[in-house]
Amino acid sequence: MKVFHYINFLIIFLFLIAICIVEEMLVSSALENVQNYCFEIENYISDKQSLKENQIVLMVDNLEFDWTKDESKLCYLVNHISIKELSYEISHLKAYISNDDIVEFKAALDAIVMYCHSYLHFMGANVHNIL
């Protein structure tokens, strides 16, 4: 019986380690993915005067699709409220395309990159977060 007792604790201990690793991997891969999309879009529109292009719509759609997919996974691990701003900003991108508002579009992209950066900072395990 004592062996089972030890095994129980070992299983819990391993489960905790596994959860930490999975969280770290999921969070960083999802946010880095969003950041990469944003950089790619920023590069693409850097010399454009208008947003009325299928390629831009496609890139934003891909960004939204991938983020929605990752967000549903992240919801198991992180607080919904912590990541909702990212979803808001991504949905704003589509509105700016239909209004052809390139200034607001770029600002929204910057905001997304900034959110990703700050989330990566406060979601990971580091001394600042612990203290």
Q: How far is the CB of 5 from another protein (least distance, A)?
A: 8
H runs (alpha helix) in 1-131 = 2-45, 54-74, 80-99, 102-123, 127-130
User: Beta-carbon neighbour count of residue 129 at 10 Å?
Assistant: 10
- How far apart CA 4 and CA 31 sit, in angstroms, is 40
Cβ closest to another protein, residue 17 vs residue 95: 17
Nearer to another protein, 31 or 109 (CB): 31
Would you say 16 or 95 has its CB closer to another protein?
16
- CA 41 vs. chain centroid, Å, equals 16
> Would you mind telling me the total number of residues written for the chain in this entry?
131
Name which of 9 and 44 has its Cβ closer to another protein.
Answer: 9
In the bound complex, what is the minimum distance in angstroms from residue 24's beta carbon to another protein?
A: 13
Q: How far is the CB of 21 from another protein (least distance, A)?
A: 13
The first and second tokens of residue 63, run together, are 């960004």
Residues lying near another protein in the complex (CB under 8 A) are found at: 8-9, 12-13, 15-16, 19, 75-81
